Each structure stands twice: as structure tokens, then as C-alpha cells.
Amino acid sequence: MPVSKSFVFINRKAPYGTIYALEALEVVLIAGAFEQQVTLIFMDDGVYQLTRNQNPAGIGMKNFSKSFGALGDYDVDQIFVDYESLNLRGLTSDDLQSLTNETTEGIEQSSIKIVPRSQLSDIIEAADILFNF
């Protein structure tokens, strides 16, 4: 029987202007489709990927932020946001889109956990496989 590995994806880039954010999301969805244990971390400018009401039409790009709503369908419910990165950018949890998952009891809960950078270090250290976008 194959041994399950834990995958941690660190998203550090803004959602538009490069392909990193969209490519990271696509890889995460693929890993989820193959029932891998996936954890997402958003830090630095990557926190902008989760902001509400994105409208990149002015720079000629398509808004893919609603695709994050599919993460729960792929059992990707470990989503961590670096508190310090949010704070440095003047953002709060109210600025982030709502991503939820369903508990085994059928209760909807937020998938996004805002944590200090020290806790993210522990998550990264425990990862079997780390992807940095």
C-alpha cells in the first residue's frame, strides 16, 4: 500500500502579473483530485490571492479567484494565511473571501486560518513535499 505524503504549497506572489498564482492553484486542485494531503499557505503578496472582489479586467487578465471555492470539493481544507503579511498590507480577515468545508458532523466551517509566522514555520518543517510559488 502506498505511503501518503503531506504536500505544502506556499503562495507568495500576487494573483496577477505572473502565472505563479494560477499555476499553483491548478497544481493544488490536481493533487486534491488524486486525494493527496494538501496544505496551502499564503504569505507575502500571496495573501492578495484570497482577497474579495478582485477585478483584474483593467490589466487584461481573467479573474480566477472564484476557483478557490472549489478547494473544498477536493478536500483541501487546510488553508493558512500569515498574519504578519496581512497586517503589513493593511488587510484583515474581513478582506478575504469565504472558503468553507464541511465537518464530519455536516457543519460548515471556515477553511482559512490566520496564524502567526512561527506557526507556519512548524507546518513547513513537518511537510514531506514543499512547493514554493
pLDDT (tens digit per residue) in 84-116: 999 999 999 999 999 988 777 888 888 999 999
**pTM for the full predicted model:** 0.92
According to CATH, the superfamily of the domain at 6-132 is DsrEFH-like (3.40.1260.10)
Say which range, 8-12, 26-30, 94-98, 100-104, has the weakest mean pLDDT: 100-104
DSSP state letters, the chain: -PPP-EEEEEE-S-SSSSSHHHHHHHHHHHHHHTT-EEEEEE-GGGGGGGBSS--GGGGT----GGGGGGGGGGT--EEEEEHHHHHHTT--GGGBPP-EEE-TTS-EEE-EEEE-HHHHHHHHHH-SEEEE-
**Is the pLDDT at 131 greater than 80, yes or no?**
yes
What pLDDT does residue 2 have?
56
pLDDT (tens digit per residue) in 51-74: 999 989 888 888 999 999 999 889
